[in-house]
Chain A
């Protein structure tokens, strides 16, 4: 059971030992803490399952604080898939296909379902699904709940980022916590959890602030980080429940290190000549990031639904003073959910993407049209057209799979990078 988890933990241990034995001063020393947090999180999940503790699965991120405040552990299945399951993607997708999922569906939503079925990931005691920008992720947690037979609640997200939309989500969240409190023995009521939630939000808000500073540093020219480190600038959805002290230390140290690199004018990509934004992620198996570096192209930001808030292009998800008043802890979580919606016609996705390119002084967008990703396959054109019209920058679209390397066309991806390089030279 959990063989893949254990292999990943061993990998983290090995990295930690390597840094302890001979730290490389050219690399981020904070990575040691990062690997420790990753290891601790996974051990925590295994122990929680073995100890019969409550585990909530959700892909909307609110679980990181809300579930924890209510006494459960939190797992974000898709982010876990990104970090842990990519090397085993083919094996897990085959299991997913046997379960009835399509071969060419979204890997990061099918893989966790297959992983649970194959006893590679702790199953949930309950799940919460949300209808935000991604219809695959909306159904992922519903599918997991149906498979394991646990309670599940789906929150409908408003695509409009106004107060009415916030109220719509908040009302459902109150209903959700009541429902789960009744259905999941041992889960605290919201009334008993609200104060703890507020404390968690404070702590997360500080870490969020550190990440925001890191992104500000990344706006500098030249980029202070190599492409590989930029690609994995961490989020807040995968921290160990009992590791917040270490988490806070890590984000502070990470911020300080990146800041120092800016002050010392360290070039993350030696000889940086061009800068690009990567949307939305992957392909994980490719040498894309290294190839870009070979062409002296710095990938300075990865665009996904949350980054605008992290960067400051969208309001901070931990702002308490919004719409002219102070938000309650539940409303703060509801806003986090509202953030992921891309707008009714994808206009928010296009707008934020262009603002990011502007903030990071990008010369182009490199867009992975992930096979099976229905949201981005439609919205990429909106972003591409807006970026060309407003900033005069091209979008290099590459279609492929995020984690499955079977059909990887290295030549095609390299060609795209080469063409861009020539265009700008």
Chain B
């Protein structure tokens, strides 16, 4: 029997299918406005990719911002638990998980038995999230997928003093107008995100080993500056944006294995 994990985020939906402890499918799709539709769509996409049907799915766990919108699913679990579970599946030595999402950031610390010991969430302020980078990319007319590689070319990152996304956007445009290179401005922007996240993490406490997950973790500048900022080595999983969905699938498989009542 297959176990499914669905993560309905604010900007993308993710799914992972597991069978006998092995990942057999993983997918990411953008979300329009309808979370319910997005949940159906991502599950169908995953099933179609490996030619399975719903009847072969033994247990589904739904997580993410829009988790209560899914009309299917056997269990709803928070992203915190799913993120921790997914990170542990990738590496059992992980003790701190940093999840930078599209609209929020989470830091999760695990104890030695792998259980969640502490966590912090920033879901009120765009600074320190993927949204900050999106706004800046748009302001500087650069493709969001290119900003990381441009930023790491910087030799002298600019200082972005504004904490607020709105004011930082103005500041970035002003810096470009003054002749600062796009790489240096982008480097400053990335460092700004990293310093916000790092401060949040410091309040939870970093304990090795550390993993960075979420869509923003694909950004090579974020990876570079995060390691520099916190002074620890960080693990970067192959598909960081599906780790939460992976965790949901692992939980689903546990439920299947133990045949716990719903």
Whether B118 pairs with A418 at a CB distance below 8 angstroms is no
Over the window 17-28 of chain A, the binary record of Cβ atoms lying under 8 Å from chain B Cβ atoms (1 yes, 0 no) is: 000000000000
Whether B78 pairs with A419 at a CB distance below 8 angstroms is yes
- Residue in A388, A399, A422 whose CB lies within 8 Å of B78: A422
CB distance from B187 to the nearest CB of A (A): 32
Whether A419 pairs with B123 at a CB distance below 8 angstroms is no
- Residue in B68, B80, B117 whose CB lies within 8 Å of A419: B80
- Residue in B80, B118, B123, B124 whose CB lies within 8 Å of A422: B80
Over the window 111-144 of chain B, the binary record of Cβ atoms lying under 8 Å from chain A Cβ atoms (1 yes, 0 no) is: 0000111110001100000000000000000000
Chain A residue with Cβ nearest B65: A411
- Residue in A399, A411, A419 whose CB lies within 8 Å of B119: A419
Report if A412 contacts B (CB, 8 A): yes
Known: A415-B78, A418-B78. A423 touches B123 (CB 8 A): no
Interface size on A, residues (CB 8 A): 11
CB distance from A109 to the nearest CB of B (A): 25
Chain B residues with Cβ under 8 A from A151's Cβ?
none
Q: How many A-B residue pairs have CB under 8 A?
A: 24
Report if B81 contacts A (CB, 8 A): yes
Report if A394 contacts B (CB, 8 A): yes
User: What separation, in Å, do the CA atoms of A394 and B118 have in the docked complex?
Assistant: 6
Chain A residue with Cβ nearest B123: A412
Report if B23 contacts A (CB, 8 A): no
Chain B residue with Cβ nearest A425: B81
Chain B residues with Cβ under 8 A from A423's Cβ?
80-81, 115-116
Chain B residues with Cβ under 8 A from A399's Cβ?
124
Q: Which residues 50-71 in B have Cβ within 8 Å of A in the complex?
A: 68
CB distance from A83 to the nearest CB of B (A): 31
User: What separation, in Å, do the CA atoms of A422 and B78 have in the docked complex?
Assistant: 8
Chain A residues with Cβ under 8 A from B115's Cβ?
423
User: Which of A394, A411, A418, A419 has the largest number of chain B CB atoms within 10 A?
Assistant: A419
Q: Which residues 76-126 in B have Cβ within 8 Å of A in the complex?
A: 77-78, 80-81, 115-119, 123-124
Q: Which residues 195-218 in B have Cβ within 8 Å of A in the complex?
A: none
Chain A residue with Cβ nearest B116: A423
Chain B residues with Cβ under 8 A from A419's Cβ?
78, 80-81, 116, 119
CB distance from A90 to the nearest CB of B (A): 22
15 A–B contacts, CB within 8 A, in A order: A388-B118, A392-B117, A394-B118, A394-B119, A411-B68, A415-B78, A418-B78, A419-B80, A419-B81, A419-B116, A422-B77, A422-B78, A422-B80, A422-B81, A422-B116
